[in-house]
Amino acid sequence: MTGSFTGKHRLHTLFMSKWWWVLAWCLLLLWVDPARADAAQYPLRVLVEGPKASIMVAVSATAQLVQDDGTVVTLSPLQWFTVTPRTAGTLRLPEGGLVMVGDRWYPEAMQFARLKSGVAAINFVALETYLRGVVPREMPASWNQHALMAQAVAARTYALTSFQRRKWGPGYDLVDTVMDQVYGGFARYDARTGRSFTLTDSRTDQAVAQTRGIILNYAKVHGNYRADGIKGWVSYGQYQLPVRKGAMMSQKVSQQMAQAGWNYAQILTYWYQAELYRLS
């Protein structure tokens, strides 16, 4: 059956059905309280620029670039510095410091690596920090909190899956575009006004924090998520649900599900049919 997603009526009716309570009971057997454990800070390497002949960088606070030949260069705040293959190395930032590459500000550390015939900027960033720059780029921060939480778990699972599979080879784990997940760093610099604008959001930060360390069983998750709506429907007796398209979550329909009262665990379990786990 095809048709538009009418939202609350269909989903509320399903929630009250016997079938849904069986699924809810299964979720209770698998669930771990988010407040009871900390996620390990898994390090990721995200390609954010290049490779190219040179890369212009600036820092928000005094930082040191340790070049591959051992030379240490001190970078002063808000002063441009040009990195080339000959001056490649690792830039270490003080706590809370940011490095600007292109027009984006990135947290933690940046490696400038010789790659092919040029130099590439690779953001070394903890998983949970990385998600703060991903979730608001992949889903509107104004959406329902449980949709945002589902997005955070899906994005966390995708990042770890890519880390495990090494699809980009030994140099980095992810790219910052739709070829993986859109990662914008923490802020954007506007050269016309000379001002920087934050790209993180308190609501998506909260979604990341509330689901800290929670992932899907990624051995069973081969896809990720998409923005388009559902066109097909399947009947469960008198109830109707969107057709699943493999292990992939529709973001727009997940928003409608959240508005109709589904929590993020229910949304994820419907789309992926995979258990929720916590990193340790």
Mean pLDDT of 236-243: 52
- CA angle 192-92-65, nearest 5°? 80
Average of per-residue pLDDT values in the chain: 82
Query: What would the pLDDT profile of 97-111 be if each residue is shown by its tens digit?
Result: 999 999 999 999 999
Mean pLDDT of 114-139: 95
For residue 152, give the H/E element and its range.
helix 145-165
Mean pLDDT of the region 212-238: 63
Cα gap 265→71, rounded to integer Å: 50
In a domain, 260, yes or no: yes
- On whether the CB atoms of residues 41 and 127 are closer than 8 A, the answer is yes
Residue 49 has pLDDT above 90, yes or no: yes
What gap in Å lies between CA 132 and CA 128, rounded to an integer? 7
**Is 200 buried (19+), middle (13-18) or exposed (0-12) by CB count in 10 A?**
buried
Distances (CA, A) of 139 to 57, 135, 152, 245: 28, 6, 10, 20
pLDDT at residue 220 in the model? 56
Our count of domains for the chain comes to: 1
Pairwise CA distance, residues 175 & 179, whole Å: 7
CA dist., res. 233 & res. 244, Å (int) = 9
The structure tokens listed for 22 are 């069986």
Within-domain flag for 73: no
Residue of 204, 86, 195, 187 whose CA lies nearest to 148: 204
Determine the pLDDT at residue 126. 95
- For residue 49, is it within any domain? no
Q: Both ends of the chain: CA-CA distance in Å?
A: 43
pLDDT score, position 253: 86
Average pLDDT value for residue range 138-157: 96
Q: Worst-scoring range by mean pLDDT, 5-19, 69-83, 103-117, 167-181?
A: 5-19
Instruction: Give yes or no for residue 218 having a pLDDT over 80.
Output: no
State the average pLDDT over residues 119-146: 97
**What span, in angstroms and rounded, lies between the C-alpha atoms of 266 and 257?**
9
Residue 60 has pLDDT above 60, yes or no: yes
Give the lowest-confidence range in 47-51, 123-127, 148-152, 273-277.
273-277
Q: Is the pTM of this model over 0.85?
A: no
* pLDDT for residue 100: 97
Q: What is the largest CA-CA distance in the chain?
A: 71
Structural domain boundaries, residue 215: 8-39+129-135+143-168+202-278
